[in-house]
């Protein structure tokens, strides 16, 4: 019985360690995704707007809204929003202007 108890405790400890590692890896991935999306953005003072939308592994994409101020002088510091699609397999960010409700 003592051997069984020891084995169960060891199993529980390793399961907890694996979960913590996965959580750390997930946080690092999200930081990298946000960093890539902000770098791909056409805005100055760009920042993430909310949390990313994670698509399942069939697409391997994450989506994130970026908010900031347009860089070109003729835009007169107008604020805008971009949609970033992040390809998790290729670690590549793609952005496009986002106008909710626009036709």
Q: pLDDT (tens digit, 9 = 90+) per residue, 4-50?
A: 443 334 434 434 444 456 888 889 999 999 999 999 998 999 999 99
Q: What's the predicted TM-score (pTM) here?
A: 0.73
What confidence score (pLDDT) does residue 12 get?
Answer: 40
User: For residues 83 and 90, what is the distance between their CA atoms, to the nearest angstrom?
Assistant: 18
What confidence score (pLDDT) does residue 13 get?
Answer: 41
Within 8 A by CB and 6+ apart from 87, the residues are 60, 61, 93, 94
Query: Quick check: is 66 in a domain?
Result: yes
**Banded pLDDT at 100 (limits 50, 70, 90):** confident
Residue 93 φ/ψ, nearest 5 degrees: -110, 140
What confidence score (pLDDT) does residue 21 get?
Answer: 60
Query: Quick check: is 46 in a domain?
Result: yes
Contact 71, 42 (CB under 8 A): yes
Query: Quick check: is 102 in a domain?
Result: no
Q: Which residue has the tokens 């604020």?
A: 79
Structural domain containing residue 61: 2-97
Contact 100, 67 (CB under 8 A): no
Query: Quick check: is 103 in a domain?
Result: no
Query: Quick check: is 24 in a domain?
Result: yes
Q: What is the mean pLDDT of the chain?
A: 83
């Amino acid at each position: 019985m003592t051997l069984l108890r020891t084995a169960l405790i060891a199993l529980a400890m390793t399961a907890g360690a694996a979960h913590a590692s996965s959580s750390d890896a997930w946080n690092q991935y999200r930081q990298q995704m946000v960093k890539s999306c902000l770098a791909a953005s056409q805005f100055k003072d760009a920042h993430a707007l909310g949390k990313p939308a994670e698509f399942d592994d069939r697409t391997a994409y994450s989506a994130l809204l970026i908010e900031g101020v347009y860089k070109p002088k003729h835009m007169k510091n107008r604020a805008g929003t971009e949609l970033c699609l992040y390809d998790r397999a290729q670690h590549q960010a793609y952005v496009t202007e986002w106008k909710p409700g626009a036709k």
